[in-house]
Structure 1
């Protein structure tokens, strides 16, 4: 984040406050008033930098993904494409953990997006998360396509498939299981990656 004379800019104060709110509650709606108050800026200042709530959500989620899965990981050609893609996907699952951590993450997801009536605000909040996840996975697939490790095709469709696999795996992490959840998860991730890397029509 940029600093001016040792101080954060008002834009960066807003982003930092919003990231803290998401860190405390992944389903936080990031209302203009709440974020502005947390950042110590006026709502007018927040609106100057982020005219819409969607722009703010997209910026925050992009920054969070950059922390969880740095973009350079997919560019490391010393690692086979299969391993790079599986590792990027694994990193998306990592923050929730397994067992109690995964159950808490699923509980928050349920509380924020499944249990409540699907109001416009609920839809917008979930759409922002989904949009950034899709954008990030499409980016990884585009990198692999450009280097020739993946045949040209519909990367949006492939990304949706991989995100569906991640959604299922994140739920499995929260459920009681016999044996190693992580070993079974690893097998599933490689099966999904191999399906995508071997695809020509998707």
Structure 2
């Protein structure tokens, strides 16, 4: 069913869930709350997103597409190394620096680390982790298809790079005696060179 605006119920659900996530990144996106916000029945929401995980994955994919439009990974006029580094920097830019990075990591701590783990907060965190992994693996697949990356396990490579990104984003939140930009650039170059020159 569609409203007069021509917006499908699936799109309304995604828009509502993305708005809720934007207002509170720790939001659990309950079916009832999202359906109410979207103006659809819970049955309609379940038709498009049979599980809460399916909804979370779709929301995170949509958010990532919004914050990283026109990935440079497709710009073949630049070397593969530079393109991959630029894409990884986009993720770090979203993480912020200084006060913004501290606030983001504080939110992660209070939402996922401090409380006793539950199935619900575990699922929410794993959805975030899966989306980060999916995006990095996509970039690596593009480079593999171009022949810029040796045959190997892009899933393992993506896990390695997301681990590096996590460490760098934590470093952005901590006091440092050195230039964050300098150490971050050196680390990104070393990580990308390792991935591009290895067969793991």
Q: TM-score, normalised on structure 1?
A: 0.93
> Structure 1 unaligned runs (5+)?
none
Distance 2:120 2:70 in 1: 30
Instruction: State which drifts further: 63-72 or 30-39.
Output: 63-72
Q: Please tell me whether residue 6 in structure 1 is matched to residue 26 in structure 2.
A: no
Residue equivalent to 2:151: 152
SS at match of 1:8: coil
Q: Deviation of residue 38 (structure 1)?
A: 1.7
In structure 2, how many angstroms separate the alpha carbons of the residues matched to 1:188 and 1:72? 21
Is 7-16 or 85-94 further displaced after alignment? 7-16
- For normalisation by structure 2, the TM-score amounts to 0.94
Comparing 44-53 and 158-167, the one that deviates more: 44-53
Deviation digits for residues 101-121 of structure 1 (CA, Å, limit 9, x no counterpart): 000100111111111111111
State the Cα distance separating 1:82 from its structure 2 match: 0.5
Q: Gaps spanning 5+ residues in structure 2: where?
A: none
Report the Cα distance in structure 1 between the residues aligned to 2:20 and 2:143, rounded to whole angstroms.
34
State the 1:6 CA deviation.
2.6
Root-mean-square deviation (CA), in Å? 1.5
Which aligned pairs between 1:1-202 and structure 2 lie closer than 5 A?
Answer: 5-70=4-69, 72-200=71-199, 202=200
Runs of 4+ in structure 1 off by over 4 angstroms are none
In 2, the alpha carbon distance for the partners of 1:111 and 1:33 equals 24
Q: How far apart are the structure 2 equivalents of 1:76 and 1:131?
A: 25
Shift of 1:4: 6.5
- CA distances 1:80-110 after superposition (whole Å, capped 9, x unpaired): 1001101111101112211000001001111
Q: Which moved more, 1:21-30 or 1:118-127?
A: 21-30
- Tell me the distance in 1 between the aligned counterparts of 2:71 and 2:110: 34
